[in-house]
């Protein structure tokens, strides 16, 4: 069998989502609109938080970086997907493929731990409000953020190290619309059992540790909320973490469905639907979830717009 490995640096072919020209046109328009909303929504969220002094708190510090990560890993995937849908060129270089995968795993892993940090922030705010400024100091927030990016980088580096050991045979067609770990493992002609187990353990640990932190935080939060006597107090306490809980549920459900299973369970149709959701749709949804359900963000947007109007009138 004619085999080649990573030293030959061949081009891969991304099969994409469909062969139908009509569906490709519809998807390209839809994904372009979603990506534009993603860019505008996440950049808008970062600008509003930066420009409004009342949002300079730990929760919005983390939300700024959540918007950055959503924008980043969507940008790693969506432009290339749009190119493949709009043109007949579906190839991607070996280095381009693994660069795309590296940064996607890095940003995705960092987001897992950032969501954990946000859950811890909500836990301290609701369960220990008197000590909140002391516990969630600037130094503590920066340390949690640094840890999130470091864990994402470790996860991504282990992933790349494992995949660099793969050999690929005559086929170089990736049955996916981007370079994702399960699709590349399915393409390899060598025994990938050990590599799969290492990736599942590392990626699974990332998901499980962050999920455990979130679960413990929200268990304590719900316990504290139930002890509040007034209905309005319970509603106010729950509203402070409702947006984050929705974002966590959507993000982790698709991640677990896609990655915590062996190569033999890889399904082109089901996995692609889940992948579209967390790579293209979720980065658009997060700023909408946090803005539409958050009175502070709405008020901040109003204040920023009013300041700009007042500035124009003074000129």
Q: How confident is the model at residue 157 (pLDDT cuts 50, 70, 90)?
A: very high
Q: Which residue has the higher pLDDT, 103 or 247?
A: 103
The number of helices, as runs of H, and strands, as runs of E, in the chain is 11, 5
Amino acid 148: pLDDT: 95
Distance, CA of 286 to CA of 152 (rounded, Å): 19
pTM: 0.87
Residue 42 has pLDDT above 50, yes or no: yes
Q: Is the pLDDT assigned to residue 107 strictly greater than 70?
A: yes
- The Cα-based distances of 16 to 21, 24, 101, 108, 175 in angstroms read 12, 9, 16, 21, 7
* β partners of residue 173: 13
| Topology classification of domain 4-314 | Rhopdopsin 7-helix transmembrane proteins (1.20.1070)
> Between residues 198 and 7, which one has the greater pLDDT?
198
Contact status, residue 241 vs residue 221, Cβ threshold 8 Å:
yes
Question: Angle at CA 59, nearest 5°, toward 56 and 60?
Answer: 50
Residues 6 or more apart whose Cβ sits within 8 Å of residue 235: none
Give the C-alpha separation, 13 to 57, whole Å: 46
């Amino acid at each position: 069998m004619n085999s080649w490995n990573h030293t030959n640096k061949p081009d891969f072919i991304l099969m994409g989502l469909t062969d139908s020209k009509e569906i490709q046109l519809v998807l390209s328009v839809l994904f372009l609109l979603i990506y534009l909303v993603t860019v505008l929504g996440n950049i808008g969220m970062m600008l509003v938080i930066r420009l409004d002094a009342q949002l300079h708190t730990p929760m919005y510090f983390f939300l700024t970086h959540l918007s950055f990560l959503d924008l980043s890993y969507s940008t790693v995937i969506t432009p290339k997907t749009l190119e493949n849908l709009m043109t007949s060129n579906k190839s991607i270089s070996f280095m381009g493929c693994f660069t795309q995968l590296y940064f996607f795993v890095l940003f995705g892993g960092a987001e897992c731990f950032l969501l954990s940090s946000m859950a811890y922030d909500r836990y301290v705010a609701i369960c220990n409000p008197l000590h909140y400024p002391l516990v969630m100091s600037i130094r503590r927030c920066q340390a949690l953020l640094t840890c999130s990016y470091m864990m994402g980088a470790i996860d991504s580096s282990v992933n790349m190290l494992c995949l660099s050991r793969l050999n690929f045979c005559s086929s170089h067609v990736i049955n996916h619309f981007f370079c994702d770990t399960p699709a590349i493992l399915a393409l390899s002609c060598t025994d990938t059992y050990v590599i799969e187990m290492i990736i599942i353990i590392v990626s699974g640990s990332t998901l499980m540790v962050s999920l455990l932190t979130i679960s413990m935080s929200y268990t304590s939060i719900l316990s504290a909320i139930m002890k509040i006597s007034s209905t309005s107090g319970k509603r106010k306490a729950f509203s402070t973490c409702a947006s984050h809980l929705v974002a966590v549920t959507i993000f982790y459900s698709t991640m677990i469905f896609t990655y915590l299973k062996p190569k033999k369970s890889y399904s082109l149709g089901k996995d692609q639907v889940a992948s579209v959701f967390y790579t293209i749709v979720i980065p658009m949804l997060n700023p909408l979830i946090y803005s539409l359900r958050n009175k502070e963000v709405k008020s901040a947007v109003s204040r920023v717009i009013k300041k700009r109007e007042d500035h124009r009138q003074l000129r």
